[in-house]
Chains A and B, each alone.
Chain A
Amino acid sequence: MVEEHMIKQLSIFINNEPGGLAKVAAALKDCNVNLKAFNIAESSGFGVFRAIVDDPDRACGELSKKGIVVKETDVIAIPMTNRPGGLLDVAKVIGDAHINVEYGYAYADNNKASFFFRVDDIAAAVGKLKEAGMKVLTEKDI
């Protein structure tokens, strides 16, 4: 059951212009999108905003209507302990399992932390993580 471990991420294109991010942020607010975690990748001339949100399908549809370049991308998430060394535990499992991470980012509150990341072959990555004894989160866990 790989599908249940696919977490939908919103990927949004940011124009290279003053206020490019603010424009995206305003659209998110207008569409009433609640961000759980996000990350921004910048390159020369453009940026990519990636976010885990409540009800991604609705958010994606409404943002598109506002002219925002957005798509849904499947990522996977694993729990992280919210203490020093938490990242090392996660990184070690991913490294030992030879999973090639395209990009990743974390979310933490007082109680729990999660690490979201993008891989090319989700099924293979989920299998390897489970083999390594790692819990792989589902949409409900987040």
Chain B
Amino acid sequence: MYWNQSMECMPEGELKKLQYKSLKELVNNLYSFNAFYSQKMKAEGVRPDDISSLNDITKLPFMNKSDLRDNYPNKMFTARKRDVVRYHVSSGTTGKPTLVGYTQNDIEFWTESLARALTSVGIGKDDVMQVSYGYGLFTGGLGLHYGAEKVGATVLPAGTGSTERQLELMVDLDVTAIACTPSYLVHMGDVAKKMGIDLRKDTKLRKAVLGAEPWSESMRRYIEDDMGIQAYDIYGTSEISGPMFTDCAEKKGVHIWGDMMIVEIIDPESGESLEPGQDGELVMTVLKKEAMPMIRYRIKDLTAIIEEECACGRTSPRIKRITGRSDDMLIIRGINVFPSQVEHTLVQMPEVDGKHYMIIVDRVGALDFMTVQVEMRPEAFSDKVDDMIRLKKHISSELKKYLNIAVEVELVAPEALPRFMGKAKRVTDRRKF
């Protein structure tokens, strides 16, 4: 079953022609109308005429998350303000968030992409889909919501939290499919057990579209074999719209629709292009995006391109499961966290020495917990335990404001934390994916 067979199964030659045409158009437009990107091109000495084949994409400059941060809120937008119909906001590398805007067409493309993806895993009109991603500034909830409605599924916009209630609804409403983070699904399974709910017998849940955090084949096996749910990987990031692409029923890599996106893999150090099959950093060019085009955007996820045609018949390139990051971004309960954000918050607090901190990430059961250790200033010390607990709570609520996740704070004495001679290694990630 295809949602858009002509696009999904377009012969390779034809697809490349289409990509070239779209790229050429995009570059021409940006060079003429987008001050940010035309300056970037001029700085690299590239002109639109230099793009005379699809491979010439490598001549174009990269975009980075820092470009979004530096141009916050909307200096990179190419659509008129009145044509922007939605914003999503994600965390940036420092205190400043990154803003993504969408025109009506952008929303429709995003939705179309998910409609193809959901269809490819067999989710459609007969399904009831529980969307247990966060709704709101995060792209996961609304993205999947629109995609699932598009294919005609009945959507249960459950959001995150209230797990027991979610499970009751899952039983009562005959939910057949769910979209959430893999760790949340495992957590739901644990809670279901405690409630006496047998997911296999008491629910109709058989499919899960899982992403927004790294996970592994062994976790897929656990979800499929132990929980009885077919588990599909979903990929995307807010800068390219949000979650957009999934495995097909073959579960052998995530299909990236070629008419919407050009994918490249580069060496994270040198920026040189790598061949299909070689592991490196993912770079994406969004061919159809009006409000905020992204050209050669360095997502910083590590993967490889699978070029062979998939048994499902779709011709678009696939990417392998994400194996890690080329930067220090952490994904905690589906939320992106940069150590620099933690530092940014701490250095503004007079009670602590924010230059000296450590981050510890643990997984307890299926849920992630983040602890921040920070060196207290001697003046902030109090002989009263209550005062110290109040200080800890204050720091953790400041961190929560910036990071959007609960953080446990541990105060330590000055000079108790390690000092780094070279590159600081401030993160201890004890999770096993």
Contact = CB atoms under 8 A, between A and B. Distances in A.
Interface in B393-423: 410-416
B383 A69 contact: no
B135 interface: no
A119 B187 CA distance: 46
B383 A9 contact: yes
B388 A48 contact: yes
A70 B392 CA distance: 18
Interface residues on B, range: 10 to 19
A119 to B, nearest CB: 11
B384 A67 contact: no
Interface string B367-393: 000000000101001111100110010
B411 A11 contact: no
A67 B415 CA distance: 8
A26 to B, nearest CB: 14
A99 B155 CA distance: 60
Interface in A87-111: 102-103
A17 interface: yes
B383 A46 contact: no
Contacts of B388: 43, 46, 48
A61 to B, nearest CB: 13
Interface residues on A, range: 20 to 34
Contacts of B412: 15-17, 46
A87 B237 CA distance: 65
A48 B413 CA distance: 12
Contacts of B383: 9, 11, 48, 50, 71, 73, 118
A41 interface: yes
Given A13-B413, A17-B416, A45-B411, A69 B384 contact: no
A64 interface: yes
Interface string A1-35: 00000000101010111000000000000000000
Given A67-B415, A102-B384, A118-B383, A13 B376 contact: yes
A16 B416 CA distance: 10
Contact of B378 (A46, A69, A73): A69
B359 to A, nearest CB: 15
B253 to A, nearest CB: 44
Contacts of B389: 43
23 contacts: A13-B376, A13-B381, A13-B413, A16-B412, A17-B412, A17-B416, A43-B385, A43-B388, A45-B410, A46-B388, A48-B383, A48-B385, A67-B414, A68-B413, A69-B381, A69-B413, A71-B378, A71-B381, A71-B383, A73-B383, A103-B384, A103-B385, A118-B384
Given A43-B389, A46-B410, 12 more contacts: A11-B381, A13-B376, A16-B412, A41-B385, A45-B411, A46-B411, A48-B383, A69-B381, A71-B381, A71-B383, A103-B384, A118-B384
Interface of B: 376, 378, 381-385, 388-389, 392, 410-416
Interface of A: 9, 11, 13, 15-17, 41, 43, 45-46, 48, 50, 64, 67-71, 73, 102-103, 118
